[in-house]
A and B are shown apart, each in its own frame.
Chain A
Amino acid sequence: MIATADVNLLQALRRCRERQPVKRGATPYSVVLEDAPFSLRRYHLPDCNPAGQPLLFVYSTINRPDLLDLTEHRSMIRPLLNAGFDIYLLDWGYPLDADSQLDLEDYLDGFLHLAVDHIRSCRKVDAVNAIGICQGGTLLACYAALWPDRIRHLVLLGTPLDFHIDPTTLNRLADALAQPSGITGNIPGQLLSSSFAALRPTDLFIRRYELLPLVARQTETLDEFLCMEAWMYDCPDQPAVMFWRFVTRFYQENALVSGDLTIGGKLVRLDHITASVLNIYAEEDHLIPPAAARSLADFIPSDRYGELACRGGHLGLFLGSMSRNQVIPAIVNKLAG
């Protein structure tokens, strides 16, 4: 019943095996700064020396940033590189058990700050332009509030800021978590993958694979499917201290918008952001509802704040036609201004 004219499921699975291992990441980069588990990548096209204005990507800690450069045709990095930007990407890496004590301070005042200063120093700029993706956007917004003179343009993509305004199933799952009273190690990445999949089980466990015989008919489409598959289930383990602080302070207590969040002894106030902001969100995002992203408008004066609402879901912001036709042109336009 799931067979197509050319390929059935068994044959599709065999083709999947033939295509292994899938290569994620289409654009070459060099690691220019490292402090394990963190690293800072600088992308470059083979025949092009990046000389345009620097642009820093800050991705979520939950998944790998490969999503931004899955293949040559599904990449946010490449068109921005082609547009002349000097692209840097902050990779939070794969934390080990020894990293279980990493905290928000180590992420923001530590490595993110190091990365921003590295770019400022190497590219001789006072402030950098930065794009925050999903939870990476939340971290970047905190950084821009703590170090306002370091960020010139701030672009947020599908970024939650108000965690109570329109609770999703993800918020409800976070509410059901109880911070362990005793000793704990890192949060296993596989547990996170399963939790995300459990938000839409029939879609992700059954319907997604119904399409496989159809997908397997074309090698390029199959490779993209396998790249996505590999990305979806590649969640790094989360450092215990950082994870529980993020869950309790952001999700459960909504401390960021209530002005009650302290990082490194400093109060994080979103109205301290002096950067010019472009806030991009997806209207049908099942993880980050528009209201959770749009709440930033309450903290930034309208002459420095802009929004772009895109029709589609969370991943559409980074992949596919919505990203190509709406998101990337809006970013280029914003940063050129």
Chain B
Amino acid sequence: MTTSTDPLAAWLRWFEQQQASTGTKETGGDQSTPEPWSKLLDESLGRFVHTLSNASDWQQCLAAHVNTAMQDAARLATSVTNPLAHEADWLKHFSAFRAPPHGNKDASLATELFGHVCTWPALGLAAADDGDWQAFQEAVPAFQGAGERYSEILFTMMATALTNWQKALESADSPPTDIDFIRQQWLDALESAWQTMLKNPEHTRRLRELNAAIDQLRTSGTRMANGMFRALGIPTREDLLGTQRRLQQVRRKINIMDQSTELAMLREDVAMLREDLAMLRRETAAANHGNKT
């Protein structure tokens, strides 16, 4: 049975809500009445077809639409990086708050001295702690930069898809009127641009850079968090991993022991069989000897 977290149930709820909000009735399979979910898409594509058909120069009109879509794509790319920047700002603030204070000339002598003492080149525990914070502070802008560079390549892919879609529609003598054709051309152009992007070594390089930056951020963040968790007596992923390593070592030892137990049993069986065989030989030899005499 479906549950409330079932994606299928969620989709159905969404469809039914759309149906209720748009006042669309059940179609019963009647194609003349569009479904609520496709109604808005069909309407906007219908407006697009209408605009192209009524334009004095439909190709120029198409180019203008594509240009607007490019600007939307650029805004979309920025909207992806903006939350990244927001996250990065928060992380910067967090790391600056935790970082060792620097000497402040406006503060009292005691505070200023304390600040200088805290920035004194430290060794041992203090150096390790500072090193973690330093790594975290460096990881934040690296992550932000990698995210921005990856979204640039996504935008280039989207621009290529739009340009190819425009070319496909322009190749006809007259403006397109079939909205399903327009949609299929768009999907073809998008898939083609996506595949080109996946095959581009620059995409691989930027994705690797982004993955490495995320890893660096996670690793340095985890190191800092571990100290706090340990102070609170909460087990960390590191602790869990140590237990898992030990567990795996024990499992492997058990397997080896199983195998050696089996080997010992087999050796025992072979010894018994050898004894039986020796006895049989002796009996056969005795019988043969008896027959001869």
Residues of A within 8 A of B (CB): 1-11, 13-14, 16-17, 20-21, 97-102, 105-106, 110, 169, 172-173, 175-178, 180-183, 185, 199-203, 206-207
Which chain A residues lie closer than 8 Å to B19 at the CB level?
Answer: 10
User: Taking A14-B12, A183-B238 as contacts, is the C-beta distance between A173 and B219 under 8 angstroms?
Assistant: no
User: Taking A110-B255, A182-B215, A182-B223 as contacts, is the C-beta distance between A173 and B179 under 8 angstroms?
Assistant: no
Alpha-carbon separation in the docked complex, A175 to B11 (Å): 35
Complex A-B: 11 CB contacts under 8 Å: A3-B31, A106-B252, A169-B199, A176-B207, A180-B218, A182-B218, A182-B222, A183-B219, A183-B238, A200-B191, A201-B194
Give A304 Cβ to nearest chain B Cβ, in Å.
30
Q: Which of these, B11, B180, B208, B251, contacts A178 with CB under 8 Å?
A: B208
Residues of B within 8 A of A (CB): 1-2, 6, 8-9, 11-12, 15-16, 19, 26-27, 29, 31, 34-38, 42, 179-180, 183, 187, 190-191, 194-195, 198-199, 201, 203-205, 207-208, 211-212, 215-216, 218-219, 222-223, 237-238, 240-241, 244-245, 247-248, 251-252, 255
Alpha-carbon separation in the docked complex, A106 to B244 (Å): 14
Which chain A residues lie closer than 8 Å to B237 at the CB level?
Answer: 183, 185
Residue of A nearest to B189 (CB): A202
Alpha-carbon separation in the docked complex, A102 to B167 (Å): 52
Which chain B residues lie closer than 8 Å to A4 at the CB level?
Answer: 29
Q: Summarize B's interface: helix, strand, loop or mixed.
A: helix
Given A10-B35, A172-B204; 17 other pairs, CB 8 A cutoff = A1-B38, A1-B42, A1-B183, A5-B31, A11-B29, A20-B8, A106-B248, A110-B252, A110-B255, A169-B198, A172-B199, A173-B198, A173-B204, A176-B205, A183-B219, A201-B191, A202-B191
User: Taking A182-B218, A183-B222, A185-B237 as contacts, is the C-beta distance between A3 and B27 under 8 angstroms?
Assistant: yes
Which chain B residues lie closer than 8 Å to A207 at the CB level?
Answer: 187
Alpha-carbon separation in the docked complex, A264 to B15 (Å): 55
Residue of B nearest to A185 (CB): B237
Q: Assess whether B244 is in contact with A100, with CB atoms less than 8 Å apart.
A: yes
Q: Assess whether A101 is in contact with B238, with CB atoms less than 8 Å apart.
A: no
Q: Assess whether A203 is in contact with B29, with CB atoms less than 8 Å apart.
A: no
Which of A3, A10, A16, A207 has the largest count of B CB atoms less than 10 A from its CB?
Answer: A10
Give B257 Cβ to nearest chain A Cβ, in Å.
14
Which chain A residues lie closer than 8 Å to B11 at the CB level?
Answer: 13
Residue of B nearest to A229 (CB): B8
Alpha-carbon separation in the docked complex, A110 to B256 (Å): 10
Q: Which of these, B1, B38, B201, B247, contacts A2 with CB under 8 Å?
A: B38
Give A307 Cβ to nearest chain B Cβ, in Å.
27
Which of B201, B205, B215 has the largest count of A CB atoms less than 10 A from its CB?
Answer: B215
Which chain A residues lie closer than 8 Å to B238 at the CB level?
Answer: 183
Q: Assess whether A181 is in contact with B215, with CB atoms less than 8 Å apart.
A: yes
Q: Assess whether A5 is in contact with B38, with CB atoms less than 8 Å apart.
A: no
Q: Assess whether A202 is in contact with B34, with CB atoms less than 8 Å apart.
A: no
Q: Assess whether B248 is in contact with A181, with CB atoms less than 8 Å apart.
A: no
Q: Assess whether B215 is in contact with A206, with CB atoms less than 8 Å apart.
A: no
User: Taking A20-B1, A182-B219 as contacts, is the C-beta distance between A98 and B247 under 8 angstroms?
Assistant: yes
Give B259 Cβ to nearest chain A Cβ, in Å.
9
Q: Assess whether B194 is in contact with A176, with CB atoms less than 8 Å apart.
A: no
Give B158 Cβ to nearest chain A Cβ, in Å.
13
Alpha-carbon separation in the docked complex, A234 to B107 (Å): 60
Alpha-carbon separation in the docked complex, A98 to B218 (Å): 21
Give A256 Cβ to nearest chain B Cβ, in Å.
21
Which chain B residues lie closer than 8 Å to A182 at the CB level?
Answer: 215, 218-219, 222-223
Alpha-carbon separation in the docked complex, A98 to B205 (Å): 33
Which chain B residues lie closer than 8 Å to A6 at the CB level?
Answer: 29
Residue of A nearest to B251 (CB): A106
Q: Assess whether A21 is in contact with B187, with CB atoms less than 8 Å apart.
A: no
Give A193 Cβ to nearest chain B Cβ, in Å.
13
Give B195 Cβ to nearest chain A Cβ, in Å.
7
User: Taking A1-B42, A14-B12 as contacts, is the C-beta distance between A169 and B211 under 8 angstroms?
Assistant: no
Give A285 Cβ to nearest chain B Cβ, in Å.
15
Q: Assess whether A101 is in contact with B247, with CB atoms less than 8 Å apart.
A: yes
Q: Assess whether B2 is in contact with A1, with CB atoms less than 8 Å apart.
A: no
User: Taking A10-B19, A202-B194 as contacts, is the C-beta distance between A180 and B244 under 8 angstroms?
Assistant: no
User: Taking A13-B12, A180-B215 as contacts, is the C-beta distance between A97 and B1 under 8 angstroms?
Assistant: no
Q: Which of these, A21, A106, A177, A202, contacts B211 with CB under 8 Å?
A: A177
Alpha-carbon separation in the docked complex, A100 to B12 (Å): 37
Which chain B residues lie closer than 8 Å to A100 at the CB level?
Answer: 241, 244
Which chain B residues lie closer than 8 Å to A17 at the CB level?
Answer: 2, 8-9, 12
Alpha-carbon separation in the docked complex, A178 to B215 (Å): 8
Residue of A nearest to B213 (CB): A178
Which of A7, A97, A169 has the largest count of B CB atoms less than 10 A from its CB?
Answer: A169
Alpha-carbon separation in the docked complex, A267 to B74 (Å): 52
Alpha-carbon separation in the docked complex, A4 to B35 (Å): 12
Residue of B nearest to A2 (CB): B38
User: Considering the complex of A and B, which 6 residue pairs feature the smallest CB-CB distances, nearest first?
Assistant: A182-B219, A101-B248, A176-B207, A169-B198, A202-B191, A178-B212
Alpha-carbon separation in the docked complex, A99 to B252 (Å): 12
Q: Assess whether A181 is in contact with B216, with CB atoms less than 8 Å apart.
A: yes
Residue of A nearest to B179 (CB): A1
Alpha-carbon separation in the docked complex, A114 to B37 (Å): 54
Residue of B nearest to A10 (CB): B15
Alpha-carbon separation in the docked complex, A10 to B22 (Å): 15
